[in-house]
Amino acid sequence: MTDTNATADAGTAGPGHPEPPAERASFDVVRLLKRTFTTNESWTFIVLIVLMAVFTGLAPGKFLTTSDLSLISQTTAPFLVMAIGETFVILTAGIDLSVGFVLVLSGVVAGEYYVHNGGANAGIGTIWVGVLIGLVTGAAYGALQGFMVAKLKIPPLIATLAGLGGAEGLSYLITGGHDVATVPNKLASSIGQGSLGGVQWLIVISFLVTLLFGLILAFTRFGRYTYAIGSNPEAARRVGIKVDRYLIGVYALSGLMAGLAGIMNLAYYSTTTISGHPLDNLVVITAVVLGGASLFGGRGSILGTFIGVFIPEMLAAGLIIIGVNQYWQYILTGVVLAAAVYLDQFRRRLRERA
């Protein structure tokens, strides 16, 4: 560290900085390669590959057949969508614990709408209205949590824990504790089970969402301010960024994503699966952290999350195939989450010492 500083300082003192362009270019390439191989995404990818290799070795010919891959992608789709929203939240140094419960709430609200409007035979128009209602429910719920974080200064952990309880309670109140299982057939057969050119709609949707928000995070002002707020909220405030408004927006986005996941879930299972998502937040947060996002904010990417989200799912699928009780998945996911955060802390300490 000190060495590079010294040379930089010396460079400034000198009158000119003649640098042969060729040398400069090769230097940049080296730097680029170095940066690529030290990024978190590449590490996450390596972990994923190792995991696949291990399971393939343990169960040759059984793991990772095409049907496996497609099933994994399909069950992962709602998690991927929620993890996209969670990535934005974690980039602001926040956390959203409520995702799985907002998923259920949005599904329940949309489901109730379908029950009272055409039921299983509802038309396309009704279906779209229900989808919209589910999305708005999620976004509004997320915005409320964002308000608690940004304006009421309630720590995100508590605001979304409270939100989690609220969403759970509302779902049970609305349904009386019974799953809404009347889902429009056209919704179930299209988004739920249908496919577009051989690829399931769930996968298409989740990949499109990933692509869209990956671009937004990387190339737009919203993305840049998300990083800036997570990196140093005070600095962001001082340059005139309306930090509170952006925070509410980010939590609303996470809610919106949970709402979309709720619709996908409703379409896939043709029921609201009220009690089926207690650990979605564990899976989603693990995916984002494995993807290289720092819980301290400011660092992370959609690409990382995209890779990271397949790790818990790969674990689950692999464990089933090699005949281990699948509930080990949650234990292992917990271990992986703790290890990933420990590594992040460790890296941060190293950096601060340097």
Partner 1 sequence: MAEAEPLLEARNLVKRYGQVLALDGANFTAYPGEVVALIGDNGAGKSTLVKTLSGAIRPDSGQIFVDGKAVSLSSPLDARRHGIETVYQDLALAPDLDAAANLHLGREIYRVRALQILNKTEMRRRAVAAFKDLGVNLPDVGAPVASLSGGQRQSVAVARAVAYASKIIFMDEPTAALGVVQRERVLDNIRRVRDRGITVVLISHNMPEVLAVSDRVEVLRMGRRVARFRTADTNVEQLVGAMTGALTTEDEPGPGSPGSGSPGSDSPGPGSPGSASPGSASTDGRGAA
C-beta of 11: minimal distance to partner 1 in Å?
4
Interaction of residue 347 with partner 1, rule CB under 8 A: no
Q: Which is nearer to partner 1, 134 or 300 (CB)?
A: 300
Which two three-digit tokens encode residue 79? 């998690």
Contacts of 66 (CB under 8 A, 6+ apart): none
C-alpha dihedral, 298 to 217 to 165 to 277, nearest 10°: -110
Interaction of residue 18 with partner 1, rule CB under 8 A: no
216 burial type by CB count under 10 A (0-12 exposed, 13-18 middle, 19+ buried): middle
Q: Considering only the stretches 234-242, 243-251, 310-318, 329-337, report the one whose residues sit in contact with partner 1 under the rule CB under 8 A.
A: 234-242
Phi, psi (rounded to 5 degrees) for 62 = -105, -40
Interaction of residue 245 with partner 1, rule CB under 8 A: no
**294 alpha carbon, distance to own chain's centre:** 13
According to CB under 8 A, which one of 70, 193, 195, 231 is a site residue for partner 1? 231
CA dihedral over 284, 287, 291, 297, signed as positive or negative? positive
Q: Which is nearer to partner 1, 194 or 298 (CB)?
A: 298
Q: Considering only the stretches 165-173, 216-224, 272-280, 311-319, report the one whose residues sit in contact with partner 1 under the rule CB under 8 A.
A: 216-224
Contacts of 191 (CB under 8 A, 6+ apart): 201, 202, 205, 263, 264, 267, 268
Interaction of residue 66 with partner 1, rule CB under 8 A: no
Interaction of residue 30 with partner 1, rule CB under 8 A: no
According to CB under 8 A, which one of 299, 314, 319, 337 is a site residue for partner 1? 299
Q: Considering only the stretches 168-176, 228-236, 260-268, 303-311, report the one whose residues sit in contact with partner 1 under the rule CB under 8 A.
A: 228-236
C-beta of 26: minimal distance to partner 1 in Å?
14
According to CB under 8 A, which one of 153, 178, 351, 353 is a site residue for partner 1? 351
Q: How many whole angstroms separate alpha carbon 165 and alpha carbon 329? A: 24
Interaction of residue 75 with partner 1, rule CB under 8 A: no
Interaction of residue 31 with partner 1, rule CB under 8 A: yes
C-beta of 309: minimal distance to partner 1 in Å?
22
Q: Which is nearer to partner 1, 56 or 348 (CB)?
A: 348
23 burial type by CB count under 10 A (0-12 exposed, 13-18 middle, 19+ buried): exposed
Nearest to 159 by CA among 146, 141, 173: 146
C-beta of 236: minimal distance to partner 1 in Å?
7
Nearest to 77 by CA among 277, 304, 306, 318: 306
Q: Which is nearer to partner 1, 215 or 335 (CB)?
A: 215
Interaction of residue 224 with partner 1, rule CB under 8 A: yes
Q: Considering only the stretches 117-125, 172-180, 218-226, 250-258, report the one whose residues sit in contact with partner 1 under the rule CB under 8 A.
A: 218-226
Interaction of residue 305 with partner 1, rule CB under 8 A: no
Length of the chain: 354
52 burial type by CB count under 10 A (0-12 exposed, 13-18 middle, 19+ buried): middle
Nearest to 252 by CA among 175, 105, 117, 147: 147
Interaction of residue 65 with partner 1, rule CB under 8 A: no
Q: Considering only the stretches 138-146, 187-195, 223-231, 320-328, report the one whose residues sit in contact with partner 1 under the rule CB under 8 A.
A: 223-231
Question: If you write DSSP's letter for every residue of 111-147 in order, what string do you get?
Answer: HHHHHHTTGGG--HHHHHHHHHHHHHHHHHHHHHHHH
According to CB under 8 A, which one of 132, 241, 322, 341 is a site residue for partner 1? 241
Interaction of residue 230 with partner 1, rule CB under 8 A: yes
Are 301 and 91 within 8 A, CB to CB? no
Q: How many Cβ atoms sit within 10 Å of the Cβ of residue 14?
A: 8
C-beta of 310: minimal distance to partner 1 in Å?
25
- Residues near partner 1 (CB under 8 A) are 1, 4-5, 8-9, 11-12, 17, 31, 219-222, 224, 227-228, 230-232, 234-236, 238-241, 297-299, 351
